[in-house]
Amino acid sequence: MNRHTKLALMVAPFLILGGYIASDFYVEHQAKKNKLITLVPFGHCDVLNQKCILKSGEFEVNVFDENGITTVNSTFPLDKATFFIVDSNDEPTAYPLGMKESPYYWKNKTKLRSLISNKGDKAKLRLIASIKGGQYISEFYTQTLK
């Protein structure tokens, strides 16, 4: 074995370890970059009857309203969430949601129940949920069935 082969065998473990650490930093940096991901409704949305699920891959958000308090429940912990009710002139009213018991549940008092309390009532809604630099957005309609 010549001296170059010996040197290569001695340096290789350090290069492997350095590459592993560098790739970890790269992946973490990529995860923190701002991303925009669209959430789409999974089936029919009925927020008042707790049947509104928005999905993007493995990430799911359940939107429901109980006694005038709109709640967002997600499969991953959120950093921030904002709920919008859009009127007939396409003007949104923002409701910043506050954390309930954990970062999986966010809530705020809204006027949604008064707008769609009758069977067949329909409303345009928007949701923006933030997770580590990723912005999950959705624009969807809810219609009361019962």
Mean pLDDT of 134-146: 88
Q: Encoding tokens for residue 25?
A: 């930093």
For residues 77, 111, 94 and 81, what is the CA-based torsion angle, rounded to 10 degrees? 0
DSSP state of 14: H
- 49 with 82, same domain: the answer is yes
* pLDDT at residue 66 is higher than 80: yes
- 22 with 47, same domain: the answer is no
Q: pLDDT of 8-52, one tens digit each? A: 888 899 999 999 999 998 988 877 777 888 999 988 899 888 899
Domain count, the chain: 2
- 46 with 81, same domain: the answer is yes
How would you classify the pairing of strands 53-56 and 40-41?
Answer: antiparallel
- 69 with 130, same domain: the answer is yes
pTM of the predicted structure, to 2 decimals: 0.74
Contact predicate 82/118, CB 8 Å: no
User: How far is CA 65 from its chain centroid?
Assistant: 18
DSSP state of 104: T
- 62 with 115, same domain: the answer is yes
Domain that holds residue 78: 35-143
Contact predicate 85/127, CB 8 Å: no
